């Protein structure tokens, strides 16, 4: 009799274990709002979506700014509806902290590393490469980052279209320290060195000087056999016409006269046209961008033939010299990302060798 009861208890234990394991949720990941602007928010979402994809986790989000404008708002699960399901919550700074124990809610902190790479190491470039090389992840994140609203854009005929993202701060960020263009003579003695006072001292890739865009247009124009270009300036500056005028004058010095510049003629500011410009920027054939997260969204959802980004810099006195850029060619059909370095030039004589 005792033997029979003992066996019955074992079966009850096994059945209860199977029952509770079947209703116990698998582990999930969420993240705290990093307090940043649109690009920062969507980069955090993409990072956590990638972790969920990589480790087969559920992804939950809290209310985030701008999210209601993107398709991810339709597919995403709200954390407030599921928080009570988990036995434990763990803050992580690296995805390697994720273990195999079910019923865990992982909480991604700001700037945590994935695949050994952090945001401070231009993490958005790694995410773009993952989206090309891993098509299941890439196709889904491209869908989720696409704006819900459909916008209509027209491009001039017989010109190659180039989007150019120029971040100036627009009154939102701190002032810029760098001179706009490369000085005639090099001076390594900086008169303004505080990264707390000047935002480009702190985040140089986000705020390249206008010389960077001149250099890349010269390079791209030569790469495309001097064909006419239609270049649209996406900027938070309130006077984009002045930027276009300065850049066009510099290009004229190199006998480049078949580039047409365009920009928003009215109501241009850091907090206007945010969603529409993301959609518009994604439609161009080529993209020359800063290291800001904002144009990266357009890069993720677009089908650009090539994208140019800054990858190395050097301060030379009060001039922020982008000493190396990178051009990438996304081959989505074969899931390959081809990368090539574009060295900067140190003086006008070398620039003619593009």
Q: Residue 124 pLDDT more than 90? A: no
| pLDDT higher than 70, residue 68 | yes
CATH class label, 160-351: alpha beta
For residue 23, name the pLDDT band (cuts at 50, 70, 90): low
Determine contact, residues 26/102, Cβ cutoff 8 Å.
yes
The domain spans of the chain are: 25-144, 160-351
DSSP classification of residue 324: E
Q: Please choose, from the candidates 217, 219, 239, the residue with its C-alpha nearest in 3D space to the C-alpha of residue 230.
A: 217
pLDDT digits (tens, 9 = 90+) for 52-66: 999 999 999 888 878
Position with higher pLDDT, 102 vs 17 = 102
Model confidence at 119: pLDDT above 90: no
Q: pLDDT: is 21 or 182 the higher one? A: 182
Q: Is the pLDDT of residue 297 over 60?
A: yes
Return the exposure string of 288-312: e unless at least 16 CB atoms fall within 10 Å of the residue's CB, then b.
bbbbbbbbbbbbbbbebebbbbbbe
């Amino acid at each position: 009799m005792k033997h029979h009861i003992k066996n019955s208890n074992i079966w009850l234990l096994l059945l209860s274990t199977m029952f509770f394991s079947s209703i116990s949720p698998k582990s999930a990941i969420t993240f705290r709002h990093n307090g940043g602007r649109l690009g920062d928010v969507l980069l955090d979402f993409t990072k956590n979506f990638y972790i969920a994809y990589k480790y087969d986790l559920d992804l939950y989000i809290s209310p985030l700014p701008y999210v209601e404008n993107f398709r991810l708002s339709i597919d995403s699960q709200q954390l407030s509806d599921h928080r009570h399901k988990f036995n434990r919550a763990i803050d992580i700074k690296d995805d390697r902290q994720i273990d195999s124990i079910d019923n865990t809610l992982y909480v991604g902190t700001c700037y945590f590393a994935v695949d050994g790479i952090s945001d401070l190491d231009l993490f958005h470039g790694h995410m773009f490469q993952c989206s090309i090389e891993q098509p299941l992840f890439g196709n889904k994140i491209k869908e989720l980052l696409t704006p819900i609203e459909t916008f209509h854009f027209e491009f001039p005929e017989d010109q190659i279209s180039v989007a150019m993202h120029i971040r100036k701060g627009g009154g939102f960020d701190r002032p810029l320290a760098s001179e706009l263009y490369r000085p005639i003579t090099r001076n390594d003695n900086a008169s303004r060195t505080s990264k707390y006072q000047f935002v480009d001292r702190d985040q140089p890739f986000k705020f390249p000087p206008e010389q960077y865009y001149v250099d890349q247009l010269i390079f791209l124009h030569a790469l495309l056999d001097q064909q006419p270009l239609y270049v649209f300036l996406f900027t938070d500056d309130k006077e984009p016409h002045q930027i276009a005028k300065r850049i066009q004058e510099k290009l004229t010095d190199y006998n480049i006269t078949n580039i047409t510049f365009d920009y928003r003629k009215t109501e241009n500011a850091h907090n206007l046209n945010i969603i529409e410009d993301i959609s518009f920027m994604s439609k161009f054939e080529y993209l020359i961008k800063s290291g800001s997260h904002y144009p990266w969204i357009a890069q993720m959802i677009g089908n650009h033939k090539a994208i140019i980004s800054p990858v190395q810099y050097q301060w030379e006195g009060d001039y922020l010299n982008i000493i190396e850029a990178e051009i990438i060619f996304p081959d989505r059909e074969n899931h390959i990302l081809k990368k090539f370095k574009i060295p900067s030039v140190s003086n006008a004589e070398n620039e003619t060798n593009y």
